[in-house]
Amino acid sequence: MFIMKKRGRIKFHKVKTWQLLVILVPLFFVDATLLRLDHIRMVELRSAVLAADENEDDEAIRSGLEELKSFVFSNMVINVVDDNGEQKVTFGTGPFYLEHQYNRDATKALQEAEQQIMDDSNPNGNIYALANEVCRAQAIANGWSWDNPNFINCMITEIQKYPAATDIQDKIIASLPSTELYRHNYAAPIWAPTLTGFMVLITMIVIVVIFIRILVWIFLRLSLLFI
Same domain for 189 and 91: yes
User: Quick one: 150 and 207 in the same domain?
Assistant: no
pLDDT number for residue 2: 46
Between the two ends of the chain, the Cα-to-Cα distance in Å is 42
193 and 169 housed in the same domain: no
Based on the fold, state whether residues 192 and 88 are members of the same structural domain: yes
Write down the pLDDT at residue 199: 95
DSSP secondary structure letters along 130-160: HHHHHHHHHHHHHT--TT-HHHHHHHHHHHT
Tally of CA atoms within 13 A in the half-sphere of 115 that contains its CB: 6
pLDDT at 160: 72
Question: What's the pTM?
Answer: 0.70
Check whether residue 114 and residue 89 sit in a common domain. no
Query: 91 with 6, same domain?
Result: yes
Domain co-membership, 208 together with 150: no
Q: Are residues 196 and 134 in the same domain?
A: no
Please check whether residues 67 and 20 belong to one and the same domain: yes
Same domain, 205 and 142: no
Decide the pairing of beta strands 86-91 and 96-97: unpaired
14 and 117 assigned to the same domain: no
Same domain flag for 21 and 81: yes
**Domain range for residue 67?**
2-95+185-225
- How many domains, the chain? 2
Q: What is the pLDDT along the chain (227 residues), one digit of tens a residue?
A: 444 455 545 455 677 878 888 899 999 999 999 999 999 999 999 999 999 999 989 999 999 999 999 999 999 999 988 776 778 889 999 989 998 888 888 878 777 766 665 554 555 556 666 777 888 888 888 887 666 778 878 887 877 776 555 555 566 666 777 788 889 999 999 999 999 999 999 999 999 999 998 888 888 877 777 76
Reference 76, options 215, 194, 211, 201; nearest CA is 194
